[in-house]
Amino acid sequence: MMWVLRAFQKTATGLALLLIFSMQQLPAAHPFHATMAEMDWNSASTCFEVALCMPAVVTEDEISREQARRINLERTDDAEELLQKYIAKRFQLHNADAQWNVEWVGAEVDGDSVWSYFELHPSKTKSVPTEARSADTAPKHALTLPTDLKLDCRLFSSRPGQVNLVTVRYGSRTCWLHFTETVATAAVDFSGPQQTTSPPILTD
């Protein structure tokens, strides 16, 4: 899908720089595992398109521990299937009316990182945002996402110092979410003041 290429081109440089910066802020002996994701609403397909970047070695270790056998993301036959299941259990969007379903697109190993691409679709149509249309104007977002929309992100949550960053975009609005080993759930809230830059990766 073309959105995968666009997502990679848009996020790769920025996420790499953020990861490098975060590593520079920590003592050398401090364990640190970062994941970074971008979720963009696609009004045509009524879903969130997600590009998720994770450290490949840590991902292999996590899946290997779960499977009780050594998994290599590039050589194990069922590695992508296992990666898909791992993410589906730990990256979940939901609200009172719906559990948003993961529709897998694909994955690729790029150097020290593994990129996963998938879509999040609401399981009930009443949770799908509507669009305001008129005969002589282009579609405009009517911000009708559920007000109780939440994201659970438990990637590598058993590892001390874990940080998971997620940027959520809906139309012109952006929501920045920050997860740690002790904070696994956050509200997807576009109602507050809009930030023009991402929040710091590390917090006191």
Domains and CATH numbers, the chain: 2-19+35-124+144-187 (3.30.70)
Segment (H or E) for 80 = helix 79-90
Please give the Cα distance from 83 to 70 (Å, whole number).
13
* pTM for this prediction: 0.76
Asked if 37 and 52 count as a contact pair (C-beta separation under 8 A), the reply is yes
Q: How confident is the model at residue 6 (pLDDT cuts 50, 70, 90)?
A: low
Per cent of the chain over pLDDT 90 is 53
- Of 58 and 137, the one with more pLDDT: 58
42-57 pLDDT, tens digit each: 988 889 999 999 999 9
82-135 pLDDT, tens digit each: 999 999 999 999 988 788 999 999 999 999 999 999 999 988 644 445 443 333
Kindly report which listed range (14-23, 45-54, 169-178, 192-201) carries the lowest average pLDDT score.
Answer: 14-23
How far CA 194 is from CA of 38, 168, 169, 176, 190, in Å, comes to 16, 12, 11, 10, 8
Would you state the pLDDT for residue 59?
Answer: 97
- Of 197 and 183, the one with more pLDDT: 183
> What's the whole-number average pLDDT of the chain?
79
The pLDDT of residue 159 is above 50 = yes
105-114 pLDDT, tens digit each: 999 999 999 9
| Most confident listed range (15-24, 29-38, 66-75, 141-150) | 66-75
Segment (H or E) for 63 = helix 56-67
With a CB cutoff of 8 Å and minimum separation 6, the contacts of 121 are 46, 47, 100, 101, 103
Vertex 164: Cα angle to 158 and 170 (nearest 5): 145
* Beta strands at 34-42 and 163-170: parallel, antiparallel or unpaired: parallel
